[in-house]
Amino acid sequence: MTQFAIGIDGGGTSCRAAVADEKGNMLGIGKAGAANIMSDPQGALANIVASARDAFSNAGLDPEALRSSAVVLGAAGANIGAYGARIQEALPFAKSRVVTDSLIALQGALGRSDGVVGAFGTGSVYGARRNGEVKEIGGWGFVVGDQSSGARLGRDLLELALLAHDGVCSATDITRIVMDEFAGDPQKVVEFAHISKPRDFARYAPMIFDQARLGDAVAVQIVQRAARDIDQSLDALLWPECKTVCLLGGLAGAYRAWLRPDHQALLAEPKADALQGAVSFAIDLAGNGERLHA
Provide the binding-site residues for a second copy, judged by CB under 8 A.
Answer: 80-81, 137-138, 140-141, 143-145, 147, 155, 158-159, 162-163, 166-169, 186-187, 189-190, 193-194, 232-233, 235-236
Nearer to a second copy, 28 or 115 (CB): 115
Evaluate whether 61 touches 27 at the Cβ level (below 8 Å).
Answer: yes
Evaluate whether 223 touches 258 at the Cβ level (below 8 Å).
Answer: yes
Backbone angles phi, psi at 148, to 5 degrees: 70, 5
Smallest separation (angstroms) from a second copy to the CB of 180 = 17
Smallest separation (angstroms) from a second copy to the CB of 219 = 16
Smallest separation (angstroms) from a second copy to the CB of 24 = 34
Report the DSSP beta bridge partners of residue 15.
10, 32
- H or E stretch covering 166: none
Nearer to a second copy, 31 or 260 (CB): 260
Nearer to a second copy, 91 or 158 (CB): 158
Backbone angles phi, psi at 53, to 5 degrees: -60, -40
Nearer to a second copy, 21 or 159 (CB): 159
Nearer to a second copy, 85 or 190 (CB): 190
Smallest separation (angstroms) from a second copy to the CB of 214 = 23
Q: If you compute the radius of gyration of the chain from its CA atoms, what whole number of angstroms results?
A: 21
Smallest separation (angstroms) from a second copy to the CB of 147 = 8
Nearer to a second copy, 67 or 188 (CB): 188
Q: Residues 6 or more apart from 116 whose CB is under 8 A from it?
A: 126, 127, 128, 234, 237, 238, 242, 244, 245, 246, 266
**H-state helical runs in the chain:** 41-58, 83-90, 101-110, 150-165, 173-181, 186-195, 198-202, 205-213, 217-237, 252-255, 261-264, 274-288
Nearer to a second copy, 41 or 92 (CB): 41
Smallest separation (angstroms) from a second copy to the CB of 285 = 26
Size of the chain, expressed as the number of residues it contains:
294
Smallest separation (angstroms) from a second copy to the CB of 220 = 18
CA distance 193 to 198: 10
